[in-house]
Structure 1
């Protein structure tokens, strides 16, 4: 059986999904007291050397390059650690190449803004005008524009393609072919909601290619890299580029092979660069688009300001997104105006941090994903606390008294727009709101009609629709908002006091049961293998496979596409005879293994490492790891009870009931 292997693209962005929970007790703060910032190269180097001498930093580091600029000067461009551990090769800040992943979006946005300056594109015009041979389906009646793509508000049904790391020796997939093969549909009104959009930036890159009549990578090289003197930057993995790449390392410290992107030229995340080159790009961004020292310019000041204006936000008190830039960690801003962009790919992480009002910037790239998010955050915090420390001149947020009746409008179940399996249950009480999510329970206190604050000072906000109803929520995720799910429709056999009621109605609200619309839920009936896989893949939210069914007994199944997709992802397996047995009841141990495999390939936010638990009862050897993992993570309902010794009889070989599957999906991830 030949299987097309797929991985969850969302895994590449998982480190920027959950916003840092460092307390922040203000918004729209008064600017900090004037600081000289990073203005002395010797002092800057001493400061950064001290940071990398820290014991905690040493445990997280393999190799890094750091560039710091201010005014029109490079204050630091230095390598730390190794580009290759085995060879003990040091990082060369001028020559060692790193993948900067999604920082590439700032280059793509720059290319679009250049065309807008030249009058070749209109940011408010229909994007299909600029897409040679491509027409994006749109069900909304609202025009999709370049501006929507720039601000991650396209309304696409899918925003992450299945871009596995490719073999550099294989034939490259052209950008045009990729765009056509991965074509999504606009299903939400463009401009209405923020959902981080990798595919949207690939569309922008293809628009640049279509309008100019030149390959995107050539436009980036000729119009951006060359004028700025970024002689070592590229979107193409040529043999010369590959020979100078830092070796990437995974979270366990294992070296990874160099890889190509799919497509081979990837506007949303394929750029490769050095510390020296990124310093030149930062200087242009901080000096009105001018290339320092050459007299040339890549953009005018108006376009630069437009890129750095965080024009889309759920609330004025919470920083949003601009053209290529965003505000990933507002709790680290220390009252300064900051725009930034992070990048995450296999074995590499990076961050670009700009303070436009201070004309200062920081860039860091790492060649390991081991504690890389923690290291990036620690570096940014150290930089900000050293050069732009917090002051006491912050605005006090006074609680706003709202009656419980006024707060009830916010109640409901909310699902993340990018990762729908991440959900928030919100209930009102006399003093505010209670939010239940995968991180526990949180209390929100109102400080404005649509703005709230938790006990740590982190802000949350809601957005109304055009009728004044609550439609969206933003709290602990930096890369998308959450939508309010439809009100539940009562089943005759699931009253409010049913022990599985909240799980069952969650499945209904998430449309996991869309192919089974019936007046009764039948909670104590067994769930078939086809139904379980169909609901799991609906919850995953990724595009379904267009490949024909490889199982001989699923061709005419209503869940045929979901089953084929799960097979391609490696979530399920068939019998030696090529059968899936879709109508057979799903056993509890089979369900546990399917969910664990989904975690291992990147679905969910709980992490890929299976957990262990104390089991009793009978479980087949092939399923023990999966059952232990599900039990340890609590992916079950009231049917599972620990004994006095903390052991669990999962009843592994029994068929899973429909109500039990609903509980499993509610608890996930």
Structure 2
């Protein structure tokens, strides 16, 4: 017997927001932070002196731009089996003026839990209780995972996010502190299907790590949290680390804050001992864990793994290309462009109101850890800290000319097979439009258009030096990875032509994009009718298809949507706060949506976390009439350029968005193509 909410709107919003912020923070293209000069002499070979290390980190947190984003934070720095620094900054509870204590204040570390889960799996492998290359079916106590591929699914593939699951997220993964949701029930309630050959493609996989915890629990015949406590926390002296939120733990947990800096209520993770994201710990404890990871699994006389198992975990060899760091067992590489030629592995974590990241430099015996009790306003602190740390302690050395191989350059015709739309495997609304040129590619995404020059076969580099690569998956499949680190993208099949949309139609690219995305699946037709209005139901249905979130199983709230093919999508949009009714219990699903209504829905989606971590309302110069309730939404959409050729700014940059006119189907296609 367990207690949890079935599909409450607040939980959906929290889970979705955490997922999308995590997705895009871990994934997105980051503009390199400004360089900050330091008067301290740069240490040779990394940090070594505790006072100098503290002075450097203090300088970072004293920067005005960091102070403006900060609620509270803890930092740990280790080197050569020594903790050089474990320090708190800001407040664990600003309202009560309780400062962060690195030894006592607990932070949610979210997906850093995965490193501990992988460690528990490797411990069982060392004991020959599991085989990393064996199909997992024998470890599931009779539970059967549907597999449409005929290929085995192994522990290695679960640990490297290459399961091939159709769903890698649960309906919701956070709830009220008192809610009870056991691991076994969670795994069974959210059972996915293997739809892609395991090992073929990378898609960040929270469910896979919950499944790993379930397997550890089954094989060990003990609750997962007890196994981690007995075999990792206790040997390493991590006396202030927990997987389950108890009343005593909650009292020590830092207060989380949302993107606007407002405090959030504390919450429990689902499942309650979540192997994918339940870890709560201190800076002092995480310093001990990093020291063990950098010392062949040992801390003093204690050993949690052999040196070989540690090396196996830290090898980031599941990658789209050998020249691009990939993922290991519970580790990844989030900011390779800031590594300055060093071997760096890391693990990041984001949950509602918390962020954390751990970086390890195994060859330098150096580790860096940060945790924050804030959300979007602190999302750049991690990347800036890492860049500043690497530039200070491990500055980049110029590569001798003789070590630089000349790039290859293929013709446009040779590269044409790479052209097309690529859809992100984890977040379908994220897409790339790839066009071949002589010697390289033009890639368009939500950040703009990037010119990639070819370096090697299937390997490219943009103007800023960020690498991109393709993988031939066989059977006509192509995968692409560029500026989104938490999953690859797959090339979509070519479009089926509409009788009323010729190739030279000004909206053709947008229209065929929505078709290739599968957004028109409920409107099977040989014609698109580009000049016809799109209905309220169709607009919401197409938007929800882009998000790929689970649809609400709740009964419809609007009486007039019961017979709509988009009833579940409308109900989900209502639960998410994307839409409102019109009058009484009506939604008017078949009424043409106005352009300002569409703008408000899309701007709400942005603020909820759809597609753009940290999105905020924007202002734009408008002409024409827009109702007051829609003004902010229209300005945001116009400022972000979510429109097609029907909108032309005047000489001053002002736009007549024609807010009160019905939105045409071709115009909605352009809006979705530009989003996020």
What interval of TM-score do these two structures reach, taking the shorter chain for normalisation? over 0.9
| In structure 1, C-alpha distance between the alignment counterparts of 2:200 and 2:438, rounded to whole Å | 31
Tell me if the contact between 1:114 and 1:298 (Cα under 8 Å) persists in the aligned partners: yes
- Cα 1:127–1:574 shift into 2, 3 Å: farther
Query: Deviation of residue 487 (structure 1)?
Result: 0.9
What do residues 290-334 of structure 1 show as CA deviations (whole Å, max 9, x unaligned)? 2x22x2221112211111011210001100000000011001211
Task: Report the counterpart of residue 434 of structure 1 in structure 2.
Answer: 442
| Aligned with residue 249 of structure 1, among 248, 254, 257 | 257
Query: Deviation of residue 425 (structure 1)?
Result: 0.9
- Alignment of 1:546 with 2:553, yes or no, is yes
Runs of 4+ in 1 over 4 A off after TM superposition: none
Task: Report the counterpart of residue 373 of structure 2 in structure 1.
Answer: 367
Task: Report the counterpart of residue 616 of structure 1 in structure 2.
Answer: 623
- Alignment of 1:4 with 2:8, yes or no, is yes
- Alignment of 1:17 with 2:27, yes or no, is yes
Tell me if the contact between 1:3 and 1:567 (Cα under 8 Å) persists in the aligned partners: no
Task: Report the counterpart of residue 82 of structure 2 in structure 1.
Answer: 73
| In structure 1, C-alpha distance between the alignment counterparts of 2:373 and 2:582, rounded to whole Å | 41
Task: Report the counterpart of residue 317 of structure 1 in structure 2.
Answer: 323
Tell me if the contact between 2:470 and 2:480 (Cα under 8 Å) persists in the aligned partners: yes
- Cα 1:34–1:409 shift into 2, 3 Å: farther
- Alignment of 1:190 with 2:178, yes or no, is no
- Cα 1:524–1:470 shift into 2, 3 Å: same
Query: Deviation of residue 274 (structure 1)?
Result: 0.6
- Mapping for residues 443-592 of structure 1, pairs under 5 Å: 443-467=451-475, 469=476, 471-592=478-599
| In structure 2, C-alpha distance between the alignment counterparts of 1:47 and 1:633, rounded to whole Å | 38
| In structure 2, C-alpha distance between the alignment counterparts of 1:550 and 1:213, rounded to whole Å | 44
- Mapping for residues 413-432 of structure 1, pairs under 5 Å: 413-432=421-440
| Aligned with residue 173 of structure 1, among 157, 170, 181 | 181
Task: Report the counterpart of residue 414 of structure 2 in structure 1.
Answer: 406
Query: Deviation of residue 470 (structure 1)?
Result: 5.9
Tell me if the contact between 1:348 and 1:365 (Cα under 8 Å) persists in the aligned partners: yes
| In structure 1, C-alpha distance between the alignment counterparts of 2:284 and 2:510, rounded to whole Å | 53
What do residues 156-192 of structure 1 show as CA deviations (whole Å, max 9, x unaligned)? 2222223354221x33222222222222222211111
- Cα 1:616–1:284 shift into 2, 3 Å: same
Task: Report the counterpart of residue 36 of structure 2 in structure 1.
Answer: none
Task: Report the counterpart of residue 303 of structure 1 in structure 2.
Answer: 309
Tell me if the contact between 1:544 and 1:562 (Cα under 8 Å) persists in the aligned partners: yes
- Alignment of 1:207 with 2:215, yes or no, is yes
- Alignment of 1:649 with 2:648, yes or no, is no
Task: Report the counterpart of residue 100 of structure 1 in structure 2.
Answer: 109
| In structure 1, C-alpha distance between the alignment counterparts of 2:559 and 2:142, rounded to whole Å | 37
- Alignment of 1:119 with 2:128, yes or no, is yes
Q: Provide the TM-score with structure 1 as the length reference.
A: 0.93
Q: Provide the TM-score with structure 2 as the length reference.
A: 0.92
- Mapping for residues 29-44 of structure 1, pairs under 5 Å: 35-44=44-53
- Cα 1:619–1:80 shift into 2, 3 Å: closer
- Alignment of 1:287 with 2:295, yes or no, is yes
| In structure 2, C-alpha distance between the alignment counterparts of 1:41 and 1:644, rounded to whole Å | 58
Tell me if the contact between 2:261 and 2:374 (Cα under 8 Å) persists in the aligned partners: yes
Greater shift, 574-583 or 201-210, is seen at: 574-583
What do residues 48-78 of structure 1 show as CA deviations (whole Å, max 9, x unaligned)? 2333333433333332221111222222222
- Which runs of 5 or more residues in structure 2 are unaligned? 1-5, 34-41
Task: Report the counterpart of residue 227 of structure 2 in structure 1.
Answer: 219
| In structure 2, C-alpha distance between the alignment counterparts of 1:3 and 1:369, rounded to whole Å | 24
- Cα 1:506–1:60 shift into 2, 3 Å: same
- Alignment of 1:389 with 2:395, yes or no, is yes
Aligned residues: 655
Tell me if the contact between 1:410 and 1:470 (Cα under 8 Å) persists in the aligned partners: no
- Which runs of 5 or more residues in structure 1 are unaligned? 24-32
Tell me if the contact between 2:260 and 2:377 (Cα under 8 Å) persists in the aligned partners: no
Output the aligned Cα RMSD.
2.2
Tell me if the contact between 1:163 and 1:261 (Cα under 8 Å) persists in the aligned partners: no
| In structure 2, C-alpha distance between the alignment counterparts of 1:586 and 1:576, rounded to whole Å | 15
What do residues 499-543 of structure 1 show as CA deviations (whole Å, max 9, x unaligned)? 110010001111111222222111112222222221111111112
Greater shift, 430-439 or 363-372, is seen at: 363-372
Query: Deviation of residue 609 (structure 1)?
Result: 1.7
Paired residue secondary structure (1:280): helix
